[in-house]
Structures are given as C-alpha cells and as structure tokens.
Amino acid sequence: MIRQFLTIFILTFFFSCGQKSNNIESKIDTIDNSSVDTFSTQPINKQIDQDKNFSYDNQVSSLGIGLIIAPPKFEIYNDSLLSEKIASWDMYEDETKINICSKFFKPDYGIMHFVCIAKSEKTYKVLVNFSEIKYLPKTKKYDFKTWDEYISQSFGIRRLTNDNVVISKNYTLRIKPEDNADSLAIPKGHELFCPIEIKGDWIKVRYDCFYNDENNSYEGEPCQNYIDKCKNPLTGWLRWRLENQLLIDIFLMP
C-alpha cells in the first residue's frame, strides 16, 4: 500500500490567514539579521477571526531567512524586549484558542512553523497572518532551520498541488537550474522526489523509484536513507520558490 504522508499543501488562494493582497511594498527579507529590532505592534484580538482561513500552508509576505519550529508549549510576544506577551499556548490543549496563523499550521499535530525574517541575541522576529510581525524567545526549545535544512531533512518533496492534490503541470523537472533548460519526463503514478542539493531558487532532486511499489520495504524512512539504492534514478532540477511563493509540497513525517 502506498504510504500516506501528512503533507504541507502549498495553496494558491489569495486570502489565507486574513491576507488582503499579495502586493509587497518592501522586501522584508533584506532586514539586517544581526540587529535587535525594537519594532512593536498592537496586540491581536483574543478571539479567532472567523474571516481568516487557516490551512496547513499559508501565504506569507516573505519567506525570510528560514523557519522557527515552535515547541508544543510556546510563548509569543508583540515586542523584541519580550515585555508584551500575547499568550502562552499548548498546541494540543489550546488548539481552538490559537488566533495566529503560522506559515505551516497544524497545532493538533504539534506543527506551528513560523517564517523567521531576522534574529537577535534574545529573539526571533517572525511573520504571522501573512505580514504581521511578532517575536519568539531565542531559547533551545525554539529550533531555527534555514530553508535548505528544512527541505533537506524532510521525507521528500513533490511539485505543487492544489486543494484536490492534483499536481501542477506548470513546474517541470529540468536538466539544469534554468527556466529555459530542457525538461525531463516524469514517470506516471504517485510522485516523490528526494532533495539532493539546493542552489538559489532551484533544488536538485532524484525520483524515488520505490514510492509506487505495492510492498515498499523503505516505507516510513527518510528518502536520504535509501535513494542511492535506485538504479539509474531520474535526476533533475525543480524550482522550489518564486519570490515569496513556495512551488513544492514538503513531506514532514511518514
């Protein structure tokens, strides 16, 4: 039986997390990461805004410098001095009370992964609800990963899918990390690629030759553990991002 993954769906609708527009007036990811930012915002509402559309993967105004993986019990603040606490939440017990939307959002599975746009000695500056700025404490409980690390340590990736898990044909596998490079034919069936190398907005991948096997002996393992056992695997390049948009689905767990 083909293994089922909890996936991070890359949705293309324009109003997730209360987003009103995709226009970005400034590039947030040009912030000096070494500086301590004292920017403060107004406290958010205590009740969940029913107009907001919370999903697994939510649009953000920038992909920043990486992601912060929050622990199941975490605190979030309005300011970089950590003097204005918004809330302390337990993802499993307070799921219905959580009224902010992280990039990857599935609190009942312990998943709230925030885009990090800057970090200082004591805080991580993160995005919520598309473009609002909040702060997380920089302690060992909060794990920072670059996008390279986040993708490379996943169980695998595939091309962008829609709400019906239909793979987009707009993003092709290419022989080189260039938009005008020749494309490669991808076998029919369920799709899974193993990330090998990231170069800018492109990622080198190998096709998982075992993924469609009825009796897959590697089921539940990260693809890096076995991908070398594929004989003459299809290898090419996929564009994984375009400005603030992800163009891939990321498999986070078996």
Q: Where is mean pLDDT largest: 30-39, 49-58, 95-104, 210-219?
A: 95-104
User: Token pair 């991070």 is at which residue?
Assistant: 8
User: Between the CA atoms of 70, 74, 80 and 84, what dihedral angle is there, to the nearest 10 degrees?
Assistant: 150
- Alpha-carbon distance 159 to 192, whole Å? 8
| pLDDT single digits (tens) 99-144 | 999 999 999 999 999 999 999 999 999 999 999 999 999 999 999 9
The pTM score is 0.79
Contacts of 254 (CB under 8 A, 6+ apart): 3, 5, 155, 219, 220, 221
For the chain, percent of residues with pLDDT exceeding 90: 65
Evaluate if residue 178 carries a pLDDT over 70.
Answer: yes
- Alpha-carbon distance 96 to 131, whole Å? 22
| Listed residue (145, 31, 27) closest to 80, CA to CA | 31
- Alpha-carbon distance 93 to 97, whole Å? 9
Amino acid identity, residue 71? P
CB 18 within 8 A of CB 61: no
| Section 34-59 average pLDDT | 48
